[in-house]
Amino acid sequence: MFSVDARSKQPIYRQIMDQIVLLVSTGVLDSGEQLPSIRDLATSLGINPNTVARAYAELEQRGVINTIPKKGAFVADISLTKEIKAEAKTQLADFFATYRKLGLSAAEIRSLAEEVFSDAENQ
Amino acid sequence: MLKINNLSKAFADYPVLSALNWEVPDGKVFGLIGSNGAGKSTLMRCISQVYDYDGDISLDGAPIADRKEKLFFVSDEPFYFNRFNTSEMRDYYRIFYPDFDQEYYRHLLELFHFDEKKPLHLLSRGLKRQSIIILALSCKPRLILMDESFDGLDPMVRLTLKRELIKLVDAGETSVIISSHNIRELEDICDEMALLEKKQIAFTQSLEDLRQNYHKVQLGYSQAPAAEVFEKMPVLSYEINNKVVTVVYHGDAARQEIEATEPILFNPLPLSMEEIFVVEMEVSQNEK
């Protein structure tokens, strides 16, 4: 169901979190739907159960899932707009920093972004 | 070029290789991959004339039996005479390898910080390997066969060895076949990979192709799809987990069919060389 890349710079618990957020935000997982148990997921990915537990704990803290003792983890009834916005902001910040370093001015990046947006809108 | 035609080898009543064909072009580093017991060492020993076999093996158009001085086999258990040191083994190899390059041998000793006077039986496994590798390269063979030769080498030596191999191959005079079950080990040095499975070379592919043409995608649906949908597709593997499906496919053929199932999520995932080989091994094991 999920897939982790041991060689990625991103920690494995983070990769699991991102994938669950992606599945919830695209509507593949509906609210109330059950997630695989920590043990099952750890076994199928061949990783330490503590890593999965950490991903679930952080997701629970962010309100993306609810864990019910002895029953398992379930997708919470929440709008992920905030999560997605935060992620988008991080990515934009990375993008901005990269191209500033490569010599584009802030104004140039802004005008490129506007060009891309208007192209996408017109399609 | 190394050409293997219709090679078969059996031990007692157990066939290990059967009607195997393979061509290794010049100036390449070939990775030979296969599960335990697939016959990687057997194939290498047939090529290096250690074993008798049925079929034809030729190097540059002549039977390989007449070209023994042009090939060097680095066995997984290197051979040496009892109490010999590296320099004495060098004198032995020089009898059989007229192209032995003394200057290059000196250069390698320095490069690997290797003491040629230490008796081999006193050396660790890793150092024994280094000794035979230094000798192998110094013989300037056209074809070097390395059977799990990177195992037991420390990272620094491994890097030095890889650099030397790349130089030799780049000069156009040497081809290398390295067997391993550790794909990561081969990834950064080989140009091509060959998979030995079911007594034959199941496929050979360049690393470029392996990297670019295999895809792993996570698909999400609003309704759990039926297994038959994916059963009929030209995918290498699929795993259905309720509404989430993970597929691995090669080339573009499957892509359109996947898109036709209208997934609400199409999320490409990183795919390691190891996963590709696991999938390909499973595919060829499932064929009868």
Nearest CA in chain A to B222: A28
A contacts of B246 (beta carbons < 8 Å): 1, 3
Count A/B contacts: CB-CB distance under 8 Å.
39
Average pLDDT over residues B97-106: 95
Residues 6+ apart with CB under 8 A from B38: B196, B197
DSSP string, B69-124: GGEEEE-SS----TT-BHHHHHHHHHHH-TT--HHHHHHHHHHTT--TTSBGGGS-
Q: Determine the pLDDT at residue B219.
A: 92
Average pLDDT over residues B32-54: 92
A contacts of B220 (beta carbons < 8 Å): 23, 26-28
What tens digit of pLDDT does each residue of A77-92 get? 877 777 788 888 999 9
For B66, the token pair is 């007449």
How high is the ipTM of this complex?
Answer: 0.70
**Cα(B123)–Cα(B132) distance, integer angstroms:** 12
CB-nearest partner of A28 from B239, B264, B272: B264
B contacts of A8 (beta carbons < 8 Å): 270
What tens digit of pLDDT does each residue of B250-285 get? 988 888 889 889 999 998 988 888 888 888 888 877
Classify residue B132 by burial, with Cβ atoms within 10 Å: 0-12, 13-18, 19+.
Answer: buried
CB-nearest partner of B216 from A3, A8, A22: A3
Q: What angle do CA A98, A104, A106 make, to 5 degrees?
A: 90
Architecture of A12-75 per CATH?
A: Orthogonal Bundle (1.10)
Give long-range contacts, CB 8 A cutoff, 24+ apart: B200-208: B200/B17, B200/B18, B200/B19, B200/B20, B200/B21, B201/B20, B201/B21, B201/B22, B202/B280, B202/B284, B203/B280, B203/B284, B204/B22, B204/B30
Note whether B2-197 and B210-286 share their fold. no
B contacts of A1 (beta carbons < 8 Å): 239, 241-242, 244, 246
**CATH class of segment(s) B210-286:** alpha beta
Q: Determine the pLDDT at residue B288.
A: 53
Q: Residue B231 in 3-state DSSP?
A: helix
Q: Tell me if B264 and A19 make a contact (CB, 8 A cut-off).
A: no
Q: What residue ranges do the domains of chain A occupy?
A: 12-75, 81-122
Q: Taking 80 as the threshold, does the pLDDT of residue B114 lie above it?
A: yes
Q: Taking 70 as the threshold, does the pLDDT of residue B207 lie above it?
A: yes
Q: What residue ranges do the domains of chain B occupy?
A: 2-197, 210-286
Q: What fold characterizes domain B2-197?
A: Rossmann fold (3.40.50)
Q: Which of residues 204-243 of B touch A (CB under 8 A)?
A: 216, 218, 220-222, 239, 241-243
Q: Taking 80 as the threshold, does the pLDDT of residue A123 lie above it?
A: no
Residues 6+ apart with CB under 8 A from B260: none
